[in-house]
Amino acid sequence: MPRPKEPTDFAEDALIARIGKRLSIGPRAAPALRLGLGDDAAILRANAAEDWIFSTDFSLEGVHFRLDTHPPDAVGYRALARAASDLAAMGSEPAFFLLSLAIPRARAGRWLDAMLAGMRRAARRLGLRLVGGDTTCWPQVAISITVIGRAAPGRAIRRDGARPGDLICVSGRLGGAALGLALLLQKRRAAGGKAAIASRRNSLLRPHLYPQIPVALGLHLARQRLASAMMDLSDGLSTDLARLAKASRVKARIHLDRLPAVRVPPALARRGIRAETLALNGGEDYGLLFTVPAARASRIPRAFRGSPITVIGEIREGRGVEAADAHGRIRPLTSAGWDPFRRSS
Ligand SMILES: [Mg+2]
């Protein structure tokens, strides 16, 4: 067993810090730059009336999807949804995207058409329009998407604004995508490792295959100035909340009995799949994690466009993340979400 790690030990975060040390520039070098490396997205001031929000995201065969389990349209849908999630996380309005695509020659026909159909469906739903990109031939499928969004000047919501006393909220259910992925991989094992393309109609798989991005909620929170800090839940609550707390230089305390955890079917629960573990450490839910000053607590909606919003804890003085159980016992919460550099998948 690896020893419990602090969020600062996260290999991916260390890599980003290393890149930043060598390449990142300050606002003095680029007056248009409002926010650079380290948040969900960068903010550039386009003019007095508008900020532009930039982010980019990889979807790689063998890392983020498998050709023998993921339907091609889900590969396209997810790739764009994952990228757009970082725009929602800033409370910005999706506008444009660039698509860089590397594929083997054998995938450039029917598979590509189906993948692009899924991407087009996501683009329409998210309000994103393709404006450019690059294509090349490569032995595996690699998709890199750059998204560009808009926000009113200074209104994009960053990770570093949480203050002691703020309430911690999440949108949607936690752990649904991880549950879907577990089912998908189980099905593949049951098929003896042979191809087992998932059914698009299985509702338990949908949060993983076709994640819904709460763009409208992000915009609402930004326009109403409700959230003091925000990010998307991409790597799992235990990891993402640690990042938000670190950026804001505060401590986060969550209450385990308040987590809006996904319901695990009894057959899977018997095999040891626990809802709480999925909710804390399962990644790729793409809900929003945000904090709200206590004075504005009455304005937090209970649900937004059919998706629940749950207050799961509060921000306190200090550092790190801790969890209180149903008996009020408090323990430090280990960051155990997704880290591409730590897992041996
Ligand atoms: Mg993010």
Q: Which residue in the block uniquely carries the two structure tokens 């550039």? A: 44
Q: Are 318 and 276 in the same domain?
A: yes
Residue 303 structural domain: 167-332
| Bridge partners, residue 174, by sequence | 261
User: Does some domain include residue 72?
Assistant: yes
User: Does some domain include residue 13?
Assistant: no
The CATH number of the domain holding residue 124 is 3.30.1330.10
What global pTM score does this model have?
Answer: 0.92
User: Does some domain include residue 57?
Assistant: yes
Does residue 1 surpass a pLDDT of 90? no
The rounded Å distance from CA 254 to ligand 1 centre is 20
Q: Are 57 and 173 in the same domain?
A: no
Q: Are 180 and 321 in the same domain?
A: yes
pLDDT for 38 equals 86
d(CA 184, CA 274): 17
Tell me which residue of 30, 53, 22 sits closest to 40, measured CA to CA: 53
Q: Are 220 and 323 in the same domain?
A: yes
Q: Are 337 and 283 in contact (CB under 8 A)?
A: yes
Quick count: other Cβ atoms within 10 Å of Cβ 174?
A: 27
The rounded Å distance from CA 58 to ligand 1 centre is 12
Taking ligand 1, which is a single-atom ion, which protein residues have CB atoms under 5 Å away?
A: 40, 86, 232, 234
pLDDT per residue as tens digits for the range 21-45: 888 877 677 888 888 888 999 998 9
SS (H, E, C) 141-163: CEEEEEEEEEECCCCCCCCCCCC
Q: Are 209 and 97 in the same domain?
A: no
Q: Are 66 and 203 in the same domain?
A: no
Total domains in the chain come to 2
The rounded Å distance from CA 205 to ligand 1 centre is 22
Between vectors from CA 239 to CA 267 and to CA 128, what angle results, nearest 5°? 90
The rounded Å distance from CA 89 to ligand 1 centre is 7
Give the max Cα distance, the chain.
Answer: 59
pLDDT for 9 equals 59
pLDDT per residue as tens digits for the range 64-97: 999 999 999 999 999 999 999 999 999 999 999 9
Does residue 132 surpass a pLDDT of 70? yes
Q: Are 177 and 80 in the same domain?
A: no
User: Does some domain include residue 343?
Assistant: no
User: Does some domain include residue 345?
Assistant: no
